[in-house]
Amino acid sequence: MNAATIDLLHRAIGDPDTQWSLGTFGAIAEFSRDPDEPVILRQSGDAVSAVTARGGIAIRHHPRNRALASESITRSGWNQRIALCLPEADGAMGARAVLTELGADGAALRASDRDSILFDLGLGAPHADFCVRIGDPDTATELRRHAGRAVFETGNPAMGLILAANPHRVFISRLGRIEVYQPIPPATGRSPEGPHTHVLPKLLKSGRTHPATEPIPGGWVPCAHLYPPHPARDGLGEARPFDPARHDAFQSDIARFGNPEFLAIKRRVQDAIAAQQPPSAMPGDRHGRAGIRIALRQLKAAGHVSPVLQSWLQDFDPAGLETEADEADLHHD
């Protein structure tokens, strides 16, 4: 890991407006905290961490950690993220397909949780383990009776036991972990604000490690993500007045950690519109075409008004047009 990535992690963990996730396509833990929420922060030479009463995150400094900043299109705006990636071999985890007891969680973020028992749910992802942490001995005994079976197997009571126990969820990769202490919402309820998890078996069956909109190079896997503050949305995804400082900060991250070709396409669009040039064809793959649309949306969000921008939008980004594939990819964000 280079100094720029270490600096990125130290800045991000100290910023309450930065959000985090760890998992795979169809199973993910998310961590966030409020600006005034009590937190125990650690920024050291080997790791960064943040722990609140609702959950915690820890990310280790790994020599092969590669930060990859990217943007992707949404129905009406854009997403931004930085993936923390490892080569597939370095990022490999247990890839267990059945409920498995792992023993006491000696790496728990809080000392009071280190005697509790971890059970891997066996969701089968190659680069992340999805666990629950059981502090009640009777519940642990009950779960042990169903070890070796798939948790979603017909007739398996294990998931019912887990839901009734409302244990901590602990999602782990080679770069670190996210722990969620808040209760599991009912099937009919919505996820709570702050740290929470999603497990969607239908999406897990795809076997994907990330959405197709995210340009992760072949041979690499995303082992965690961070989401710097968005210039046009708040932490709950609600629209907010455009913040130029937030926008400029992430464009600096794109320049440092992003795909140079993606950045070049965006700059060509921005330069063409600044020069009052009419729309023109631009070569590019799926990510390049998304870059054109994102550049246009960002100019519009920033308050740029001109007939030339409107012409570009009409040619490249007609209002309200999204493909089904684009929408499916958003489930990860």
Kindly state the average pLDDT of the residues 127-155.
96
Q: What percent of the chain has pLDDT over 70?
A: 95
Q: How many CA atoms lie within 13 A of 102 on its CB side?
A: 24
Residue 104, both tokens: 């006491």
Contact 94, 120 (CB under 8 A): yes
User: Which candidate, 322, 309, 303, places its Cα nearest to that of 269?
Assistant: 309
pLDDT for 49: 98
pLDDT for 201: 86
User: Which candidate, 78, 83, 69, places its Cα nearest to that of 249?
Assistant: 69
pLDDT for 205: 83
Residue pointed to by tokens 């920024």:
43
Residue 222, both tokens: 């995303």
Which of helix, strand or coil describes residue 31?
strand
Contact 139, 161 (CB under 8 A): yes
User: Which candidate, 211, 29, 56, 214, places its Cα nearest to that of 123?
Assistant: 29
Q: Identify the DSSP state of 332.
A: G
Confidence of residue 331 (pLDDT cuts 50, 70, 90): very low
194: left (phi over 0), alpha (psi -120 to 50) or beta: left
Residue pointed to by tokens 């007609």:
318
Task: Give pLDDT tens digits for 38-97.
Answer: 999 999 989 999 999 999 999 999 999 999 999 999 988 999 999 999 999 999 999 999
User: Which candidate, 25, 149, 306, places its Cα nearest to that of 296?
Assistant: 306
Which of helix, strand or coil describes residue 48?
strand
Task: Give pLDDT tens digits for 192-225.
Answer: 899 999 998 888 888 888 888 888 999 999 999 9
pLDDT for 281: 80
pLDDT for 325: 37
For residue 104, is pLDDT > 60? yes
Q: What percent of the chain has pLDDT over 90?
A: 80
Measured in degrees and rounded to the nearest 5, phi and psi for residue 90 equal: -70, -30
pLDDT for 16: 97
Beta-bridge partner residues of 233: 239
Distances (CA, A) of 153 to 94, 128, 209, 272: 20, 21, 23, 56
Burial of 7 (0-12, 13-18, 19+ CB in 10 A): exposed
User: Which candidate, 80, 20, 27, 84, places its Cα nearest to that of 55?
Assistant: 20
pTM over 0.85: yes
Q: Please, what is the angle between helix 137-144 and helix 158-165, to 10°? A: 170
